[in-house]
Chains A and B, each alone.
Chain A
Amino acid sequence: MTAHDARLVGAYELPYRHAPDKSLAQMQAEAALGAVADAGLSLKDVDGFFCGGDTPGMGPMSLIEYLNITPRHVDSTETGGNSYVSHVARAARAIDAGLCDVALITLAGKPRTPAKGSRPMTDSNKPDQDFELTYHPTVPANYALAAQRHMYEYGTTSEQLAWIKVAASHHAQHNPHALLRDVVTVEDVVNSPMVATPLHRFDCCVITDGGGALILARSEIAKKLNRPSVKILGTGEAVKHQGAGDIDLTFTAGKWAAEKAWKMSGCTPDQIQYASIYDSFTITVLLEIEDLGFCKPGHGGGFVAEGNLISGKGKLPFNTDGGGLCSNHPGNRGGMTKVIEAVRQLRGEAHPAVQVPDCALALAHGTGGSLGTRHGASTLILARED
C-alpha cells in the first residue's frame, strides 16, 4: 500500500467542556460546521459521513437527517474512543476508492450533563455480561488491572506513570480551553486520592462535554483550499480481547495496529516529531508507547520519566493540547482530539509554547473500549504537505 490521495483538510474542536444547555445532535452539528469552515468548505460539499457510537439514533441516520445532508457514503464503525482515528483511515480509503469526495467525521458527547432518560449501558444479550458486569467493574479498574500487571512484570512504578500526567499538565497550562490548567508534579499525582490501585485520580483523564470534527477531501479539492492540508502516510487498526480467557494484559491492540501503520508508511518511530497518544489513563499511554515501538516492551516507565514527553524538553513531545488527562476527553472518547492536535502540529498551529519546530511528521494513536477486557486501537502516520 502507498500513502493515500485523500488529505485531512479540516479540523475543529468545540471550545467548551460543559454543555448543560445543548443537545447532543446540536453539539455534533456545531463541530461539523466548525470543521467545514476550517477547511473552507460547506456542509453541502460533504458527500461522505463517518461517525461512532456517540451519535444519537441508529448509526449515522439521525445525525445526517439533523444536518439535512445526503451523503452517498456512510460508515459508523464503532470500537470506542479510537473510532475517529479509524474513521480517518476509512474516509481516506473511501475517497481513494471514489466512494466520496469530501468526508465528514464527527464526535460529541455530554457525560457531565446527560439527557434525561439516557439508556443504560447494559445489554442482556452480551455474552460476556454475566461474567464481567456481575463483579462491579469500573472503567478505571479495567485499566488498573493492566497497570498492576505491568508493574509486576517490569517493575514499573507509580512515579513513572505520574510523569505522563506531569507532561500533559505542562502542555495544558498554555491551552485556554483546557479543563485543568495547573502544572502538577509527580508528588501531586501520587498523593492524589486513590481510585483503583495503582491508579490515582490524576492518573485518570478528565470527564468533559464536548466534541470535534474532521474533514478529508481528495487531493485535487485540497489543492484549491486555502488551508494547509495533511497527508496520510500510514494507517492501522486492530482489536484485542480476552482470547477466551487467555488474556495478556502487558500489551494492547496498538501493537498490531502500529505494525500495519509503520509498514504502510515506510516510516520508523525515531522519525516521528510529535505524537498524539490516547491518554484515558496514564497506563494507557505507557503501554501504547511500548506498542508503538518508541521503546522496548517493559521500558515505558523509564522512557516517560524525567519529562521526556514534554514539548521542547523531551524526545517525544506528546498531547501538546494537554490531552485527555488535562484538557478534554469529550464524551469519554479521546480519538478525535488526538487527530485534531496532530493536525495543528503539522500545520504549525499548536500553541507557540508547545509547537514542535518545523513539524513535518506526526503520529496519532487511539485506544477504545477497555484494556482489561476488549478494546480497539488505531494508528495514523501523518505528514505535512510538502
Chain B
Amino acid sequence: MAEDHKMTYADPWMLPETKGFWEALNEKKLVIRTCMDCGRGHHFPRAMCPHCYSDNLEWKESDGTGTIYSFTAQQVKGGGKYVYAYVEIADRVRAITNIVDCDPEALQIGQKVKAAFRPSASGQNILVFTPA
C-alpha cells in the first residue's frame, strides 16, 4: 500500500547562504555544498565548511541517488501515513527528507532511492526521494 497522506510543503525561508540549493532544485538538480579545500560535502548548506571552516565552497551536482539511513512511517491523525527519513546523499552526508510514492511497509534501511521534486505552496521545488 502506498503512503496515503499527500504531503503539502510550506514555502521555505531560503536563507541567503542556501540560495544555490533552492535554485538547483528548481532545475530538478540536487547539489551538495562541498569544500574545495578539504573535499568534504555537508548538509544543510552553510556559508563555511563545517569541517575545516574554509569558505572555498562549491555546489557539487549529485546524480540524485542515495540510500536510506533510517526512516519512520508517521501515522496521521484521522488516518494515513507518510515517511520521514534520513537519506545518505553523499559519503557521510545524511539529509532529512520524505520518501514519497512508496510502500512504507516495504521500505528498508540501505535501500536505494532517487531524488524527486515536489512544489511548495508558491512553486519552489522541495527535495524528496522515491524508491530507485
Contacts and interface: CB of A to CB of B under 8 A. Distances in A.
Most interface-central of B46, B70, B126, B128 (chain A CB within 10 A): B70
A247 B43 CA distance: 11
A42 interface: no
Contact of A245 (B43, B70, B110): B43
A195 B92 contact: no
Interface stretch (A47-55, A64-72, A130-138, A351-359): A130-138
B51 A244 contact: yes
Contacts of A373: 96
A122 B92 CA distance: 28
A145 B92 CA distance: 17
Contacts of B46: 127, 244
Contacts, number: 104
B84 A137 contact: yes
A246 interface: yes
The majority secondary structure among interface residues of chain B is strand
A194 interface: yes
The range of chain B's interface size is 35 or more
Nearest to B92: A246
B24 interface: no
A145 B43 contact: no
A148 B74 CA distance: 13
A136 B8 CA distance: 9
Contacts of A242: 94
A271 interface: no
Main secondary structure of the interface of A (DSSP, over half): mixed
B14 A135 contact: no
A198 B107 CA distance: 13
Contacts of A136: 7, 74, 82, 84, 98
A196 B72 contact: yes
B102 to A, nearest CB: 13
Contact of B73 (A127, A197, A245, A249): A197
Contacts of B98: 135-136
B42 A137 contact: no
> Which 10 A-B residue pairings sit nearest by Cβ, starting from the closest?
A144-B72, A245-B93, A244-B42, A131-B44, A244-B50, A130-B12, A149-B70, A245-B43, A246-B92, A145-B70
Given A131-B96, A152-B70, 6 more contacts: A130-B12, A134-B126, A144-B72, A149-B70, A196-B75, A246-B94
Interface of B: 7, 9-10, 12-15, 18, 41-44, 46, 50-51, 69-75, 82, 84-86, 89-90, 92-98, 104, 109-110, 126, 128
18 contacts: A124-B13, A127-B46, A129-B13, A130-B13, A132-B96, A134-B9, A135-B97, A136-B7, A140-B72, A141-B74, A144-B72, A148-B71, A149-B70, A152-B109, A152-B110, A244-B50, A246-B93, A249-B69
